[in-house]
Copies of this chain bind each other. A is one copy, B any other.
């Protein structure tokens, strides 16, 4: 009871215990952090005093300052925190990160914020040894903010021009080519592209200028991959509508509306994310168009949901879990070097693609 009340007033600290037990700070500290070097008798006495005074054990806040290492890695994004638990891609990635962290006993701190200002503050004040950045919308800003902390960090999912930042990505060109070839070989000749953004906060049909000026080279590379391969099949890629969206429901639906409002509608859709592809399947089905009989769709990412929906999604699978694991390892084993890794991707053919409809 007494200890409870005192605890309310002001927390007991190690120095209080030391004084009460009649030993020095140093010895009291040793009792908790290296008990084996303290004489048994003293150790028990200090422990007893601590117990009796209701001492909660060495406060990590104090230890931290001295030790320097937090033993946790921060995972940051510009999306709200719930993104980590909602988004299928993020979840698989987090599973990989978790695995690496569990293996070394490191913790995970989720960093995000409702607005930009708070995000900056949260990144500046996050208690972590390094960051993994989910670069979605506003990825470049996130990188800038994080760079200020001068802690190790890895950018994910971003064909980032800047060679000075560590990053793990996938071979976007190769992946896109696989997707395009698959559709072309099924006889498709009329395409549309559901694209990710080429720069922050853009949506709408993309012009060649926009593509050339792309900030996100990942998006640019995927488009380049699509186009290169389709050109080999004699498709006039200048006629293919490319619509930038924000990788969420509303703007993806707007993209589909716009694409299918044109005179010539596509028989095949190349989506730069599974999320968009899944939304597209839904939209098309609701509109009475059959997938894949009327329209084929290929996604990009390889999230588990793609295998479960109807029809199951043909997609370009990234080794998402492995990327997560490696990103975490990069932070945990950080050696000061800038590392840029490119992982391979794989075409997974499922039910959302089929032969092009006979004209």
Whether B54 lies near A150 (C-beta < 8 A) is yes
A312 within 8 Å of B by Cβ? no
The CA-CA distance from A68 to B64 in the complex, in Å, is 13
> What residues on B are CB-neighbors of A64 within 8 Å?
61, 64-65, 127
What are the residues of chain B within 8 A of A57 when measuring CB–CB? Answer: 124, 148-149
- Judge whether A203 is part of the interface by a CB distance below 8 angstroms: no
Pairwise interchain contact A125-B60, C-beta atoms closer than 8 A: yes
5 nearest interchain CB pairs? A81-B98, A56-B150, A82-B98, A108-B110, A85-B94
Which B residue's beta carbon lies closest to that of A72?
B109
Which of the segments A99-107, A260-268, A287-295, A348-356 contacts the partner chain? Answer: A99-107
- Partner-contacting stretch, out of A21-29, A112-120, A132-140, A233-241: A112-120
Copies of this chain, count: 2
Task: Check if A125 sits within 8 Å of B63, measured CB to CB.
Answer: yes
Please give the number of chain A residues whose Cβ is less than 8 angstroms from any Cβ of chain B in the complex.
52
The interface of chain A, by Cβ under 8 A from chain B, is 7-8, 11, 54, 56-57, 60-65, 68, 70-72, 80-82, 84-86, 91-92, 94-95, 98-99, 101-103, 105, 107-114, 118, 121-122, 124-127, 148-151, 336
